[in-house]
Amino acid sequence: MAQLKMKVSITLDSDIIEKIKLFAKDEDRSFSQYINLILKEHIKAHTCDLEIENK
């Protein structure tokens, strides 16, 4: 079953938005899909770091 999604509103610098749009287009993803992907990757990377620090 697919995860439920929620709408959020954030403010980003215009240059960041333009770069993310380009990256998303290069990967044939929507802006929202790409943001979701990079946030998941960031969380995963930092979760691993936290697990290592807590050992």
Number of residues written out for the chain: 55
d(CA 30, CA 21): 8
For residue 23, is it within any domain? Answer: yes
**H or E, element range at 45:** helix 31-53
**pLDDT value for 2:** 73
| Domains in the chain, number | 1
- pTM, 2 dp: 0.76
For residue 1, is it within any domain? Answer: no
Q: In the numeric block, which tokens belong to residue 50?
A: 């936290």
Domain that residue 23 falls in: 15-53
For residue 25, is it within any domain? Answer: yes
Instruction: Extract the residue ranges of the chain whose pLDDT is less than 70.
Output: 1, 49-55
d(CA 17, CA 8): 16
For residue 21, is it within any domain? Answer: yes
For residue 10, is it within any domain? Answer: no
For residue 26, is it within any domain? Answer: yes
